Structure 1
Amino acid sequence: MPPTPAPASSSRASTRCRSSARSALADQPRTKAGRPLLWAAGLSLSLVAALVVALLARDSRYEADTGPLDVPRASPAAATAALTTFVDGIEARDADVMADLAPGGDTAARDLLAGIGRNAAALALVGVTARYVDQVGAVDEDGTWSGVVELTWQLDGFDPAPSEADVVVTFAPDGDTLGIVGFGSADGGGRSRTPLWLRGELSVARTAGVLVMADGTTGEADDVAQRVTRGIQVVRRVLPDWEGPVVVEVPASGADLDETLGASPGTYADIAAVTAAVGSGTADDAPVHVLVNPDVTDGLRRAGAQVVMSHELVHVATDAARSAMEPWLLEGFADYVALRNTRLPDRVTLGRAVDAVRRDGLPEALPSAADFDTRSDGLQAAYEGAWLACRIIAERVGEERLVQLYGDVSGGAAIGDRLRMRGLPLGRLTATWRGTLADLSR
């Protein structure tokens, strides 16, 4: 994002006689070459000269102020010094050092920074670096300003490598130094990420191979950790060789989820959870976490919330966040594993898909990428349709071959080729899928 230039730190005032003379000359008609005509509207060049002399005489005692104006300016050097202290405080796990980074009298900033210091200990943060990049926007009258900071961090024992992201940090004067008052894009436009651990003190729950951080109560973090433990058992029934670890983040709201992922506001408003890289890195070892939207999951029954978590853990187990496979197979397989032992009737598991058929007619093809857009009105129907397709594959060729199909396509194989090799060409699968939806919608 291109930074907005800061206001000029100084300016020069012009004498009124010069500006008046320029104005008078500027008003004259000009030749094609751009030079002013000697006569225009009865005013001769000699009269212009007389006017200039008169103005000079009238304003002879005017003095131009050519000194610099006293306006607040951003200081990259001071920002770098503040960020150095910030990193030192994280490495020392020292909440007091972090709190002292806040400008004097700013209680909210002190509490925020002290909480971040405690997060550093609870999460075992390592590999933290913070490099000032550039200014964002103008400097406020009180000297507060924001800058883009290239941040790295890693959860020791859980993340295979550091995460990295551009984070907006807000600075404010503190005597002769610069303090830190907050993190995140001031306009909320999804221009940068705000890692959850920068939002203040979190509740943290740990079990074997599981780490949950929640911007909520300790009880909420514990409940999610138990959900993860049960979900791991569900996934291993189909994928027995999978081993964690698993990291789950629970922001305070859907809006915070968007900002944590650097997404535009509202992107994940209707999504219960998402498995995604937590930074902007694209390497094969870039950390991937499950992120939960409490605005949605808090409204689910216990069984529903468990299915959501089990679904996301399938994505973790199969590294789906880095997969380019057809979304109906990717999402349908995750739901197949999550719903495998629920024994819910079709009117429940396919309710929205059936409603869509009754309303819009029978679809011609399996759900497309557009159907899985997070803001699509038919998103839930697409998920249910994808699950039905994977269930049909398991029923026709067996669960083991479904797992093999998923693995082959994840590795780059063409799904049509692999279905045909297993005796279920894509056209036949689609026809069976459409027939099942037609029967259920009658």
Structure 2
Amino acid sequence: MSGVRRLRAWWSARRRFEFCLTVAMMVALTGFCGALVMLPNSALPKPHAAQATEAVGQAAATDPRLAEVRRSIEPFGPILAHQVATGDGQQSLVVGHPAQRIEIDILERELAAATTAVTEVWGPDWAQSTLVVVASSPSEFAGLVHAGATMSAEVAAASVADPFAPGTRPTGQRIVFSPDAGRRLDPDGLRTLLRHELTHIATRAETRDGAPLWMLEGFADYTAHRGQGHSFTDIAPTLTAQTRLHDLPDNLPTDTDFTGPNAAATYEQAWSICAYIADKYDQPRLVDLYRRIAAAEQTPASEDQILQTVLGINRADFIADWRNWLSTQTV
């Protein structure tokens, strides 16, 4: 019996020990939870959803343009969004993700000056407010510009708009930068590219599909480089080399020239045509020429008529004079 009594005593002691241990653990856990409640919010880890919204400024959070792109960009991570005051009391919006914070900061700093630069050339008759998005991946970039699998890896930025009827203002316009734009371009390059795409935004209401790219892209590049102190050689290194070898273009670039291995040189030619017009004639006539040529698809005959109306020169003489002007730029 003594053995039974000892076993019962041991079992009773063990049960008392387990009870005391349980009570002690409950007290400790209650104290820990109370301490967590007393901690300031800054000391607590934040859930992913909170991180995704905390970098959105109060004004940006209510901007309807953010709502337009939120569903497209939220799956790619936390969102940064800030409004930027731009021309004529308007507000533009810059949106992206933390991984692209450097590019976002540069674009925020440059957006107001870029808007002013475009307005100085084109005039104030445009929204002077835009949405700028920096994508975090090729798939996000392609989705934002509605390009799908057709988006070239060489494209660092693109501007898009919803379909619109002639005579109405475009809606849904935005500029989208690719995820590697910041790695491929320094701040000066990002500034220039922003101004180029902003020019497309400003002129879109007066630009028709099928209008010649030598005018559309050349004018955007002219506006982008204007007033930045870039030399002819800086802007057009390939064209400079060709000109010094007396290998001058013998015609205006065709639309197909803007794709393929010689695309960079073609963009340089297009810029130089617009720079020549502004230099030889003046900037207002360059803008007038854009409005007329960009208004419809063109043929050499229709371009000839427009050139004679605006500049007083036929197409053949215009090309010859442009070639002569090129020869004077690289001496």
Distance in 1 (alpha carbons) for counterparts of 2:131 and 2:292: 26
Q: Secondary structure at the match of 1:314?
A: helix
Among all aligned residue pairs of Structure 1 and Structure 2, give the percentage whose two residues are the same amino acid. 25
Distance in 2 (alpha carbons) for counterparts of 1:112 and 1:434: 59
Residue of structure 2 equivalent to 1:333: 219
What is the TM-score of this pair, normalised by structure 1?
0.53
1:245 to 129, 140, 164: 129
Q: Secondary structure at the match of 1:365?
A: coil
Map 1:123-202 to 2 at 5 A.
124=61, 156=64, 158=65, 195-202=72-79
1:211 to 93, 104, 107: 93
Map 1:370-389 to 2 at 5 A.
370-373=256-259, 376-389=260-273
2:303 to 390, 410, 415: 415
- Answer whether contact 1:389 1:429 (CA < 8 A) is retained: no
Residue of structure 2 equivalent to 1:424: 313
CA displacement 1:228-275 (0-9 Å, x = unmatched): 112112112223314421100100144531233342547332222111
- C-alpha root-mean-square deviation of aligned residues, in Å? 3.6
CA displacement 1:346-396 (0-9 Å, x = unmatched): 2212212234567994332111111222xx222221111111101111122
Task: Identify unmatched segments of 5+ residues in structure 2.
Answer: 1-46, 86-90
Residue of structure 1 equivalent to 2:39: none
Residue of structure 2 equivalent to 1:52: none
Q: Secondary structure at the match of 2:193?
A: helix
Q: CA deviation at 1:331?
A: 0.9
Residue of structure 1 equivalent to 2:203: 318
Q: CA deviation at 1:341?
A: 0.9
Task: Identify unmatched segments of 5+ residues in structure 1.
Answer: 1-109, 126-154, 165-193
Distance in 1 (alpha carbons) for counterparts of 2:54 and 2:231: 49
Opposite residue 350 of structure 1, the aligned amino acid is A
Higher strand share: 1
For residues 293 and 352 of structure 1, do their structure 2 counterparts lie closer, same or farther at Cα, with a shift above 3 Å needed? farther
Map 1:206-285 to 2 at 5 A.
206-208=83-85, 209-217=91-99, 218=101, 220-241=103-124, 242-265=126-149, 267-277=151-161, 281-284=162-165, 285=170
Opposite residue 415 of structure 1, the aligned amino acid is E
Higher helix share: 2
Q: Secondary structure at the match of 1:237?
A: helix
Distance in 2 (alpha carbons) for counterparts of 1:356 and 1:328: 18
Opposite residue 116 of structure 2, the aligned amino acid is Q
2:252 to 359, 363, 366: 366
Q: How many pairs does the alignment contain?
A: 268
Q: CA deviation at 1:344?
A: 2.3
Opposite residue 205 of structure 1, the aligned amino acid is H
Higher relative contact order (CA 8 A, sep 6+): 2
| Mapped pair 1:307 → 2:192 | yes
- Answer whether contact 1:392 1:429 (CA < 8 A) is retained: no
Range 309-318 or range 404-413, more displaced: 404-413
Distance in 2 (alpha carbons) for counterparts of 1:288 and 1:252: 19
Opposite residue 346 of structure 1, the aligned amino acid is F
